[in-house]
Structure 1
Amino acid sequence: MARLFDTHSHLNAPQLAEELEAVIQRAKEAHVERIVIPGYDLAACERAVALAEKHEGLYAAVGFHPTDVRGLTQKDYERLAEWSQLDHVVAIGEIGLDYHWDTTTKEEQHEAFRRQIHLAKDLNMPIIIHDREAHADIVRILKEEGAKEVGGIMHCFSGSWEMAKECMNMNFMISFGGPVTFKNAKRPQEVARQVPTDYLLIETDAPYLTPEPHRGKRNEPSYVVHVAEKIAALREMDFEELCEITWKNAERLFRLGNV
């Protein structure tokens, strides 16, 4: 069985807290050998870091989600910089823009997004991008802030093939989660067929966006196998080859040594 790398799983989310050890064990049994846990607020970053310290194969990203940026202080950003120095912290994220919810203004989101890109560049770390209903502004700000210097991941990509090409030109890999398995997901499937293998990643975004055939249930990292199976089928390629390609891509992006 091929090894799998879930590049985006919120093992730090409250929905998984009670059953967390069992969730991690099921991931191992499904050959999900590495998982990146992105932060979204201070408490979530702290939990991600603690989990990565405790479990082999788990890694943390630290960052402020666009819906959680109101009221951030200089001290909060300094805390991100401190966490980023730890060996098992591999990226700044998830950061970006989210125009679906109204917990923060666009201005607040833009400021926090730019500030965290600056931090990633100062630290020479890749960025994990959250983009919801904000495609044009995401691309514009990444260009304006020179994010190409560090690159990263377009997490759970939902944009067009044209947008994917712009992001890849800025050294961002394209990651697909559960929605690529949905029957009506024509655009993600179209993009998943076309992304060059060097830019392809898989994820779950657990506990959210559960793939078929478990849609409607809480998501978990072991389900990333269904994402891999779907993309392999879309691309008419061998499943184990797809797993190994996405593993090596994630390893390269996060600068992790060979296992």
Structure 2
Amino acid sequence: MFLVDSHCHLDGLNYESLHKDVDDVLAKAAARDVKFFLAVATTLPGYQSMRELVGERDNVVFSCGVHPLNQDEEYDVETLRTLAAEPGVVAMGETGLDYYYTPETKARQQESFRNHIRIGRELNKPVIVHTRDAREDTLAILREEKAMDCAGVLHCFTEDRETAGKLLDLGFYISFSGIVTFRNAEQLREAARYVPLDRLLIETDSPYLAPVPHRGKENQPALVRDVAEYMAVLKGVSVDELAKATTQNFSQLFHIDAARLQSA
């Protein structure tokens, strides 16, 4: 079996007491058939330090971007464009809108979101989208900026079936995290049943949102196996079938040669 963690923050894990180093994290994941990783940035300095931490590896690729919750200071768009063009960067983001925590930066968030999509279209790199309490504006900006030209994923999906349908109409993929295992997430499970297998991704968003029965502990890439097993039951397929589908989807969305995934 070959599983991909399509969204993890390898620079956010506890290397003081839980893991020796990145090698340790990836070895624990491999022991549970999680063999490829997309390490996601949330700031430009964070992207650079994460690349230094992780190094060049056959089984890790990167995103480059500025999270909507990190818009308190302006960043240089040309620097974003330059860094995003680096080898090993397969996606823009994570970007998007979050009106729940920082509604006061709404205008800056929207401008940043548009910049990420525009650069994604220029570089032919998909966008990784975060949204919270901003559904209508998120969908509107995706349409206005023609995000379907570079495609993308709504990561850590927490919206409803109707929103899933609108994203699918835009050609987007939808990624589910450990939240789908939470007791009060029935609306999310309904959406997960609805999303077709060929548009589905799975992720940890580690170190956040550990799935049941690990909830409350630090999440890590190894636990994407728990998400996969839970999603397989929801979708009525074997874990092997879900692993194959989500790995193929990851390969297609992020323009990664399937042979590279199998050899990692």
TM over 0.5: yes
Number of the residue aligned with 1:249 = 249
The answer to whether 1:30 aligns with 2:32 is yes
* Shift in Å, 1:51: 4.7
The one-letter code sitting in structure 2 at the alignment partner of 1:86 is E
The one-letter code sitting in structure 1 at the alignment partner of 2:120 is A
The one-letter code sitting in structure 2 at the alignment partner of 1:165 is G
CA distance in 1, matches of 2:45, 2:103: 18
> Following superposition of structure 1 onto structure 2, how do residues 107-122 of structure 1 map, counting pairs within 5 Å?
107-122=107-122
Number of the residue aligned with 1:86 = 86
Q: TM-score normalised to the size of structure 1?
A: 0.94
Gap change, CA 1:17 and 1:78, over 3 Å in 2: farther
Contact conserved, 1:27 with 1:221, CA < 8 A, in 2?
yes
* Shift in Å, 1:152: 0.7
Contact conserved, 1:37 with 1:58, CA < 8 A, in 2?
yes
Number of the residue aligned with 2:147 = 147
CA distance in 2, matches of 1:199, 1:248: 10
Q: Secondary structure at the match of 1:16?
A: coil
CA distance in 2, matches of 1:54, 1:242: 28
Gap change, CA 1:61 and 1:235, over 3 Å in 2: same
CA distance in 2, matches of 1:37, 1:79: 19
Over the aligned positions, Cα root-mean-square deviation in angstroms equals 1.5
Gap change, CA 1:56 and 1:103, over 3 Å in 2: farther
Gap change, CA 1:32 and 1:47, over 3 Å in 2: farther
> Which runs of no fewer than 5 residues in structure 1 stay unpaired?
none
**Residues 113-143 of structure 1, C-alpha deviation per residue, up to 9 Å, x if partnerless?**
1111111111111000011121111111111
* Total equivalences in the alignment: 255
Q: Secondary structure at the match of 1:158?
A: coil
CA distance in 2, matches of 1:205, 1:165: 23
* Shift in Å, 1:93: 0.8
* Shift in Å, 1:201: 0.4
Q: Secondary structure at the match of 1:12?
A: helix
The one-letter code sitting in structure 2 at the alignment partner of 1:155 is H
The one-letter code sitting in structure 1 at the alignment partner of 2:254 is F
Q: Secondary structure at the match of 2:10?
A: coil
The answer to whether 1:4 aligns with 2:11 is no
* Shift in Å, 1:80: 2.1
CA distance in 2, matches of 1:51, 1:244: 29
Number of the residue aligned with 1:16 = 14
> Which runs of no fewer than 5 residues in structure 2 stay unpaired?
none
Identity across matched positions, percent: 38
Contact conserved, 2:71 with 2:105, CA < 8 A, in 1?
no
The one-letter code sitting in structure 1 at the alignment partner of 2:228 is A
Number of the residue aligned with 1:132 = 132
Contact conserved, 2:207 with 2:220, CA < 8 A, in 1?
yes
CA distance in 2, matches of 1:181, 1:194: 16
The answer to whether 1:230 aligns with 2:230 is yes
The one-letter code sitting in structure 2 at the alignment partner of 1:216 is G
CA distance in 1, matches of 2:85, 2:55: 13
CA distance in 1, matches of 2:112, 2:247: 30
Contact conserved, 1:5 with 1:33, CA < 8 A, in 2?
yes
Q: Secondary structure at the match of 1:105?
A: helix
Q: Secondary structure at the match of 1:125?
A: coil
Q: Secondary structure at the match of 1:159?
A: coil
CA distance in 2, matches of 1:9, 1:88: 15
Number of the residue aligned with 1:50 = 52
- Higher mean C-alpha deviation, range 147-156 or range 100-109: 100-109
Q: Secondary structure at the match of 1:96?
A: strand
* Shift in Å, 1:104: 4.9
Number of the residue aligned with 2:161 = 161
